[in-house]
Structure 1
Amino acid sequence: MTYPDGLSAFPITPTNEDGSIDLGALRELVLPLVEARVDSIGLLGSTGTYMYLSREERRRATEAAVAISGGVPIIAGIGALRTDDSVRLAQDARAAGASAGLLAPVSYTPLTDEEVFEHFSTVARESGLPICIYDNPGTTHFTFSPELLGRLSRIEGIVAVKSPAPGAAEIRAHHFALKTVVRNGCSLGYSGDWDSAEGLIAGASSWYSVIGGLFPITCLAIVRAAQRNDAGEARRLNAHLEPIWSLFKEFSSLRVVYTIAELNRAIHAKPPRPILPLSPPARAKVETALAGLPADLLR
């Protein structure tokens, strides 16, 4: 497959009071991404609270998103504690029409490199779904070494790596180090919105973006500027979003993006318990930040 490099926009997965997915609200979030023609939709990532959803809920969300995707590729989260569960989730995603799966080494017992290698190899082999490696040590407490990523990139069906963006000063060296070990053609991209523009400028193929799930046009403009080697424009647009990046760092991107979805898109959803919505003072900070941004950025 040709992996969909560029902007991968990650929406939240709104749920009803009983925890079931609010498919109507999900469609309201996905349709603007389709209309903006993002390069892919990152469904059921950490922003999409995949680990809080059942297999059936994930399947329903993927089917609903694919049905309105208009050909925009869907990259669906397939992480689970057990390898056999991840295989089944990947098979479900493939059957629903997802283009690729986003696989993290979810664990309770800390995993060894060899266990992660076998986990990813098995899911790729038994599901037939192209796999993007999801390196997110902040949630999984597992950090991929460059050597392990190099080994995994040579497994048939593993096509991309999503890395957490290091600081802006380190990102160029980080990207170069990965390029030297992964197979030629393996897509390398970054998450961690506040430093991802620098990752694109350094040569990364993709930005896996939380705020892209709500402001796809602005985020696409950053990506397109970096793709045409206009680093100044990419940095200028990214700097305008600094109030959002500061909130992400202070309160976590997940909590903040739920609040922005309500304030900016009238999506009245709460994060899955035990995660709580932002407190009134924190919510007021989000409102103030949004009010201070140029209106043309909020799209």
Structure 2
Amino acid sequence: MFTGLCAFPLTPFRHEKIDFHAFEKLISNLKQANVDSICAMGSTGLYPYLKRDELAQVTESSVATANGTPVMVGIGSLRTYDVLKNAEVAQKAGAKALLLAPVSYHPLHEAEVLALYQRVTCEISVPLCIYENPGVTQFSFSDTLYSQVTQLPNVGAIKIPGMPFADADGNATGEARLSSLRNLVPEHVAIGVSGDKFGALGMQAGCDLWLSVLGGLFPNTVKTMIASTQSSSLQAVIAQSERLTPLWDLFARNKGGMRVMATAAAILGYTEANCLPHPLQPLQAEDKQKLEAILTQLSLD
């Protein structure tokens, strides 16, 4: 479950309702690309914006369309009670793993985050991927907390935030951090890289899987980058990632890849022009034009 490419597709909307026709096209694209796993309703999949019955319906649709490709489902919510209910419906609908970030409105203390994971891991029957996403949750995991939560039952992976794995001169810098994480977490717990700008370098540095926003729409591009980490030099991997710099810049300017991927999905004909729930919006005119040029130039697949 926690190896290779885990693709994070968009959950598209149409007139404030989930567009299941478009969604199934996105999942079919991932199935055809033979991705290792799919995370339906990750951050790109908009899990905080879905009601529980919608989460169940999207999970069922994902599992049916993926047809054997393992599906992970985001279950985060403000209250532990709702996280547990989300976990219950996701498992009943066929999810093979769960993704959980410490979602909050009021900033959380470490003891509260630990209590969240203690409660959830005792009440699930499929593996859990612990998701550190400080850009969204405003919470960062200490090494002590990583050590504590990964000792809990049913924890199968951690999803670390994006970080540089090489310096400006092309020297590897990420191995030391990964080595320290390996010493903190049990051997059976996979370490996944996120932040697509750092994904290829993270895989070459030794991460077990790439949890990819880009892979949710362009899985073959990410699979090619992962394959190159097995046989190419560090400099070659850096060059591959730097080729996508215009896209990474667009991600950064729009506070992540969600709006970029939503706009790209519309440009490519998968979804309606505006496939996000209000008040979220796709890229505005200037950035949309830049994205159209980027897609033409880079020939992503």
Deviation readout 1:130-175 (Å, 9 max, x if unpaired): 1100100111111011111111111110110001111233533322
Q: Secondary structure at the match of 1:97?
A: coil
Match of 1:135 in 2: 132
Distance 1:246 1:72 in 2: 31
Q: Secondary structure at the match of 1:292?
A: helix
> Which of 1, 12, 17 is matched with 1:14 structurally?
12
Match of 2:251 in 1: 248
Letter of the 2:114 counterpart? F
Supply the RMSD in Å over aligned alpha carbons. 1.5
- 1:5-44 → structure 2 map (5 Å cutoff): 5-17=3-15, 19-44=16-41
Match of 2:72 in 1: 75
Counterpart contact for 2:124–2:154, Cα < 8 Å: no
Letter of the 2:206 counterpart? G
Distance 1:229 1:160 in 2: 26
2:282 is equivalent to residue 285 of structure 1: no
Deviation readout 1:25-84 (Å, 9 max, x if unpaired): 100000010111101101101101111111111110010010011211111001011111
Counterpart contact for 2:98–2:127, Cα < 8 Å: yes
Residue identity (%): 39
- 1:93-172 → structure 2 map (5 Å cutoff): 93-169=90-166, 170-172=173-175
Distance 1:216 1:223 in 2: 11
Q: Secondary structure at the match of 2:13?
A: coil
Deviation at 1:226, TM superposition (A): 2.0
Match of 2:54 in 1: 57
Counterpart contact for 1:104–1:136, Cα < 8 Å: yes
Match of 1:176 in 2: 179
Distance 2:232 2:122 in 1: 37
Q: Secondary structure at the match of 1:41?
A: strand
Q: How many residue pairs were aligned?
A: 293
Distance 2:4 2:266 in 1: 27
Q: Secondary structure at the match of 2:163?
A: coil
Which runs of 5 or more residues in structure 2 are unaligned?
167-172
Deviation at 1:218, TM superposition (A): 1.2
Match of 1:276 in 2: 281
Counterpart contact for 2:2–2:156, Cα < 8 Å: no
Distance 2:85 2:209 in 1: 27
Q: Secondary structure at the match of 1:76?
A: strand
Which runs of 5 or more residues in structure 1 are unaligned?
none
Distance 1:20 1:28 in 2: 16
Counterpart contact for 2:9–2:216, Cα < 8 Å: yes
Counterpart contact for 2:25–2:270, Cα < 8 Å: no
Match of 2:169 in 1: none
Match of 1:257 in 2: 261
Deviation at 1:228, TM superposition (A): 4.9
Name whichever of 247-256 and 47-56 sits farther off: 247-256
Letter of the 1:275 counterpart? L
TM-score (norm 2): 0.93
Distance 2:269 2:80 in 1: 37
